[in-house]
A and B are shown apart, each in its own frame.
Chain A
Amino acid sequence: MSYKILIVDDSPLMRAMVKKSIAIAGIPTESIQEAGHGVEALAILKASPIDLVFSDLHMPEMNGIELVEAMASQGLLKSIPVVIVSSDRSQKHIARLKEIGVRAYLTKPFRPEDISQVFKIVFGSSEGA
């Protein structure tokens, strides 16, 4: 299986870093799409099949929490897992995000091994077998 991934972050540099880490981790991908905030992400999610979303928390227009809540209300969160990528280490925030359905939380700075671990948590394998 090759994954269809959506990376949501207002920072083009951070989107490039996630993309690069996925490649270094050896995760097979069919497509990687990018969005600068939650509103753009929702439009992509409605238009294309996505297997996994990596999203920042603090973004303009629609932040990461609002995106997860919108995905839940539209029934998208049941079939599309979301991983939050953030520098925010507040345990209360992390617990709240897991309560509303976030599958994994990656703190910055992260390494390709951390990305592999996320795929193992979400799909049970980092190779998509």
Chain B
Amino acid sequence: MAPEITQEQLESTVGKVLQDAAFVFTEPLEDDLPDEGEVVQATLEFTGSKDGRLVFSVPPTFAIELAANLLGIEADDPTATSQKNDAVGETLNIVAGILMESWLGADAQYNLSPPTTRTIPPADTEARSDEATCRTSLAADDEYRVDLAIFVS
């Protein structure tokens, strides 16, 4: 039987992925950061020994920065803006792979769906929902609020 997933696991996984893949540093969110009016939300479903979904949301400005860092281009390059949703989805994809391994073990059998993304008001993002099985909020580069939630069926 898989152990319960912890907030520390979510926090360390998303922090490590953002640092290793995009050179972004995160800290636990202590003081709320201002929202931009919208967030880019990515959702990915997992099935196997555990079923559920992961939801990740970031402000659009941070999504552009993320795309730029992943591609090694400047944030004002139009490609960074056009790839911002894809960057959030791919980041969640990487988070999911590492999280499943640390939570369920290397021998666990599971399937990950391709991530889907959409832009919505911050109040609507499931990544901040109290109904999540577990969730975490981080400050990225001291500027941007980043949320990750897991819903286990």
**A, B in one complex:** yes
A122 within 8 A of B: no
Within 8 Å by CB of A17, from B71, B79, B98, B107, lies B71
The CA-CA distance from A91 to B101 in the complex, in Å, is: 9
Known: A87-B97, A89-B98. A13 touches B83 (CB 8 A): yes
Chain B nearest Cβ from A61, distance in angstroms: 11
Contact (Cβ within 8 A) A90 B100: yes
Chain A residues with CB under 8 A of B72: 20
A107 within 8 A of B: yes
The CA-CA distance from A79 to B89 in the complex, in Å, is: 34
Chain B residues with CB under 8 A of A20: 71-72
Contact (Cβ within 8 A) B94 A109: yes
Known: A87-B93, A91-B106. A60 touches B100 (CB 8 A): no
Within 8 Å by CB of B114, from A12, A60, A89, A90, lies A60
Q: Name A9's closest neighbour in chain B (CB-CB).
A: B90
Within 8 Å by CB of A13, from B17, B90, B108, B109, lies B90
Known: A87-B93, A108-B97. A16 touches B114 (CB 8 A): no
Q: Name B48's closest neighbour in chain A (CB-CB).
A: A90
A58 within 8 A of B: yes
B86 within 8 A of A: yes
Chain A residues with CB under 8 A of B87: 13
Contact (Cβ within 8 A) B114 A107: no
B5 within 8 A of A: no
B window 70-122: CB within 8 A of A: 70-72, 79, 83, 86-87, 89-90, 93-94, 96-98, 100-101, 106-110, 112-114
B67 within 8 A of A: yes
Chain B nearest Cβ from A5, distance in angstroms: 18
Contact (Cβ within 8 A) A109 B114: no
A46 within 8 A of B: no
